[in-house]
Amino acid sequence: MTAQRRAIVATVFGTRKHFTAEQLLTWSRRRDKSVSRATVYRTLPLLTESGLVRELDFGKHYKFYDPNYAEHPHHNHIICQECDKIVEFESDIIEQLGGEISRKLGFSVRAHRLQILASCDEFRKFGDCKKKRA
For residue range 51-93, list pLDDT tens digits in order: 889 898 887 888 999 887 666 667 788 988 888 888 888 888 9
Residue extents of the structural domains in the chain: 1-70, 72-134
Is CATH 3.40.50.170 the right assignment for the domain spanning 72-134?
no
**What backbone torsions phi and psi does residue 31 show, to the nearest 5 degrees?**
-85, -40
Q: Given this model, what pLDDT does residue 7 score?
A: 97
Q: Given this model, what pLDDT does residue 39 score?
A: 97
**Per-residue pLDDT reduced to its tens digit, 88-133:** 888 889 989 999 999 999 999 887 888 898 888 887 787 777 665 4
Closest to 115 (Cα-Cα) out of 89, 97, 92, 93: 89
Q: Given this model, what pLDDT does residue 69 score?
A: 66
Long-range contacts of 52-60 (CB under 8 A, 24+ apart): 53/12, 56/18, 56/115, 58/84, 58/86, 58/115, 58/117, 59/117, 60/84
Class of domain 1-70: mainly alpha
Q: Are strands 64-66 and 76-80 parallel, antiparallel or unpaired?
A: unpaired
Would the pTM count as exceeding 0.95? no
